């Protein structure tokens, strides 16, 4: 059985004490969520150690939002996968569309990042998704196939077993526009089939594929009911503990 996951991407929001409070609120409410749902929070780098303390002994796992594409050394301002593992952090989000779009992250760079993260035994939440103009031109399947093939097809089966995929249509992120459950399911099924081409059906069936893009308590149930949707990567709604937990209760 693949994992059900709800992960909160806090992006560049909250200062450290607020992040600590939010983490504690989520821990406080986490008992309401069925035990087969993995809960993850991804605060900014500055918050990781303090949030790790707040999560200690709880069921809520810690993720970072990015890591460097280099192992160590003279890369001012970067944070390595080894540093994250030493916090300790369990997951890292890589390939988010905001990183691809604003910080020039290419598929090639993401291969390096993912390999470094996996080498430190971190699990990776790898994001894929098309822009609005790509969907309008009917190119979304090609875009997603490249994002999967050019990156994940460079991994071994063992490495792939530590990867969660998040499908996040760029036009749905932070816009209030959610993909319909049919649109999301169609792409999730496509991603799973693409993963199966390289890693086989069993491995593809074990891969959790999350939906992201304006997912909230009001639409999570319909999305999570789809056969190939194994949970959500949540942006805005993950900043309110009650909303985040309500989403996680929507399976
Ligand atoms: C995200 O950026 O990962 C995301 C899904 O954001 P939002 O939920 O705010 O659309």
Per-residue pLDDT of the chain (251 residues), as tens digits, is 899 999 999 999 999 999 999 999 999 999 999 999 999 999 999 999 999 999 999 999 999 999 999 999 999 999 999 999 999 999 999 999 999 999 999 999 999 999 999 999 999 999 999 999 999 999 999 999 999 999 999 999 999 999 999 999 999 988 888 889 999 999 999 999 999 999 999 999 999 999 999 999 999 999 999 999 999 999 999 999 999 999 999 99
- Beta-strand ranges (E) seen in the chain are 4-9, 37-42, 60-64, 91-94, 123-128, 163-167, 209-212, 231-234
Among residues 192, 188, 216, 207, the alpha carbon closest in space to that of 3 is found at: 207
* Token pair for 95: 């390939």
The Cα 120–Cα 97 span in angstroms is: 24
For ligand 1, pick from 66, 169, 172, 235 the residue to mutate: most ligand atoms within 8 Å of CB. Answer: 235
Contact between residue 23 and residue 249 where contact means Cβ atoms under 8 Å apart: no
Atom 7 of ligand 1: nearest residue by CA position: 235
User: So what's the pLDDT on residue 98?
Assistant: 97
Give residue ranges with CB within 6 A of ligand 1.
Answer: 9, 168, 173-174, 212-215, 233-237
For the full predicted model, state whether its pTM sits above 0.95. Answer: yes
Nearest to 140 by CA among 191, 215, 86: 191
For ligand 1, atom 6, name the residue with the nearest CA: 235
- Which residues are paired to 209 by β-bridges? 165
CB 164 within 8 Å of CB 90? no
Strand partners for 93? 125
- Contact 247/234 with Cβ under 8 angstroms? yes
CA-only gyration radius of the chain, Å: 17
Cα separation, 171 vs 149, in Å, equals 22
């Amino acid at each position: 059985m693949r994992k059900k996951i709800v992960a909160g991407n806090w992006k560049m929001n909250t200062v450290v004490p607020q992040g600590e409070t939010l983490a504690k609120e989520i821990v406080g409410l986490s008992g309401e969520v069925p035990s087969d749902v993995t809960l993850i929070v991804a605060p900014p780098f500055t918050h990781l150690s303090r949030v790790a303390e707040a999560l200690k002994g709880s069921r809520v796992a810690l993720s970072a939002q990015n890591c460097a594409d280099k192992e160590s050394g003279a890369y001012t301002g970067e944070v390595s996968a080894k540093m994250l593992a030493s916090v300790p952090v369990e997951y890292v989000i890589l390939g988010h569309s905001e990183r691809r779009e604003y910080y020039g992250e290419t598929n090639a760079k993401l291969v390096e990042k993912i390999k470094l993260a996996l080498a430190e035994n971190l699990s990776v939440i790898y994001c894929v998704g098309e822009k609005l103009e790509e969907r309008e031109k009917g190119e979304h399947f090609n875009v997603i196939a490249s994002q999967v093939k050019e990156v994940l097809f460079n991994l071994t089966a063992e490495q792939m077993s530590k990867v969660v995929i998040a499908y996040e249509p760029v036009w749905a992120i932070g816009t209030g526009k959610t993909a319909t459950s049919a649109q999301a399911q169609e792409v999730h099924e496509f991603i799973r089939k693409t993963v199966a081409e390289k890693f086989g059906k069993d491995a593809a069936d074990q891969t959790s594929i999350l939906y992201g893009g304006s997912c909230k308590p009001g639409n999570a149930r319909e999305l999570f009911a789809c056969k190939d949707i194994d949970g959500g990567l949540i942006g805005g709604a993950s900043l309110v503990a009650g909303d985040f937990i309500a989403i996680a209760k929507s399976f």
